[in-house]
Amino acid sequence: MLKASYEVLQPAGNHSFLVRTFGKSGFAAPYHFHPEYELTWIVKGSGKRYAGSNMANFSDGDLVLLGPHVPHCWKLQPEGKNRPAARSIVIQFTPDFLGDGFFSRAELANIRQLFQRSGSGIQFLQKTQAQVQEQIKGLAEERNNFRKLMRLLDILQQLALSKEYLLLDQQRLMAELSPANQARISPIFAYLVEHFRRAVSLNDAAAIAGMTPNAFCKYFKRITRKTFMETVIEYRINYATQQLIQSNKSITDICYDSGFGDVSHFYKMFRGKMGVSPLHYRQQFGAL
């Protein structure tokens, strides 16, 4: 049974947090979650970012803070042998990495509020993105342990004060779920992330949730406010829009590559979601 993988993290040498640099292979990680906060800077690479119920494009410079237990992964495009070079720097730390109650102090109120927002996933933009990237680079290169910790707190404070951000899950669907519902719904999104471009089975999704298909449909809509198939179509259309803009594939190839089995159905669903046909969408953005 497919599940969102639980990742176990262990800082080395009794350090309080992790700073790691990943190459192209790091983007092959499955849809996973862990109890740590995670700040990820995509130094180089582009594709699709999955965070909770949110799916969006990412490219060089992507900077995202995720709260504990938010399932996530970054998938490079294109895939396979043609996958371009990629690199990321990832900082991970537990809520109590500086001791119980440390962030409850008045001086750290802004960072505490930042942590509360991070349950929705936060993408940082514009000047904040550029400035914090340089600080993350300095942190990754720092060899003095005390200064590394000070650099991390400086980064968190700057992020906390920034107004240049976007909440990835603006409805806070995942953030407001109980731990039991998070544990139940996360494997469903893992299934979607890995299968939406192929045949998706309602029966398989229901089995992963441990429910009958009828009960699962009601549960999924109550949790996400969308039907299961609406979510599948949304994933497929989102993927297709990226391919229309960033590739010179034929619309027929994009249709099938995005998980649709019929071109006329693809056109109907795309127009209903985007308001224009796939061809007009491509022309609108000046793709090949």
The tens digit of pLDDT for each residue in 233-256 reads 999 999 999 889 888 899 999 999
Q: Quick one: pLDDT at residue 271?
A: 95
- Where exactly are the structural domains of the chain? 5-167, 179-284
What CATH number matches the domain at 179-284, 3.40.50.720, 1.10.10.10, 1.10.10.60, 3.40.50.800?
A: 1.10.10.60
Q: Quick one: pLDDT at residue 147?
A: 95
CA–chain centroid gap for 152, Å, is 22
Query: What is 132-197 written as a DSSP string?
Result: HHHHHHHHHH---HHHHHHHHHHHHHHHHH---EEESSTT-TTTTS-HHHHHHHHHHHHHHHHHTT
* Same fold for the pair 5-167 and 179-284: no
What backbone torsions phi and psi does residue 84 show, to the nearest 5 degrees? -75, 170
Q: Quick one: pLDDT at residue 180?
A: 85
CATH architecture designation of domain 5-167: Sandwich (2.60)
pTM: 0.82
- pLDDT below 50 — which residues of the chain? 1-3, 287-288
- Neighbouring CB atoms inside 10 A of 4's CB total 23
- Neighbouring CB atoms inside 10 A of 287's CB total 14
